[in-house]
């Protein structure tokens, strides 16, 4: 999973937590969401917007998405 974060968003402060979950993070100076950047925690996960009221809600969702992705690889037969 690749996560894109705006450097001005609260999610940028969660970099260590994201990397601890083995999530690849790209931080950009701006993601052109300035109106909601100050109001909501958000990231783009594999190109899909995940926007919640707090950073913990975003982190919880990202951990769940990562777990689902990891499970898909385990379940897939080679």
pLDDT above 90: percentage of residues in the chain:
79
Exposure pattern of 61-78 as b/e (b: 16+ CB <10 Å)?
ebeebbeeeeeeeeeeee
**pLDDT tens per residue, range 50-59:** 999 999 999 9
**Which SS3 state, helix, strand or coil, does residue 76 take?**
coil
Confidence of residue 76 (pLDDT cuts 50, 70, 90): low
Q: 44 forms bridges with which residues in the sheet? A: 4, 49
With 0-12 / 13-18 / 19 or more C-beta atoms within 10 angstroms meaning exposed / middle / buried, residue 38 is exposed
* Residue 72 reports pLDDT greater than 90: no
Domain-wise residue ranges, the chain: 2-75
- Give CA–CA dist 66/52, Å, rounded: 17
């Amino acid at each position: 999973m690749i996560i894109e974060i705006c450097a001005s968003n609260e999610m940028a402060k969660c970099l260590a937590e994201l990397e601890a979950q083995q999530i690849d993070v790209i931080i950009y100076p701006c993601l052109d969401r300035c109106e909601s950047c100050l109001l909501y925690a958000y990231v783009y996960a594999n190109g899909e917007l995940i926007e919640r009221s707090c950073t913990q809600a975003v982190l919880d969702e990202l951990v769940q998405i990562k777990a689902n992705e990891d499970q898909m690889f385990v379940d897939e037969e080679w």
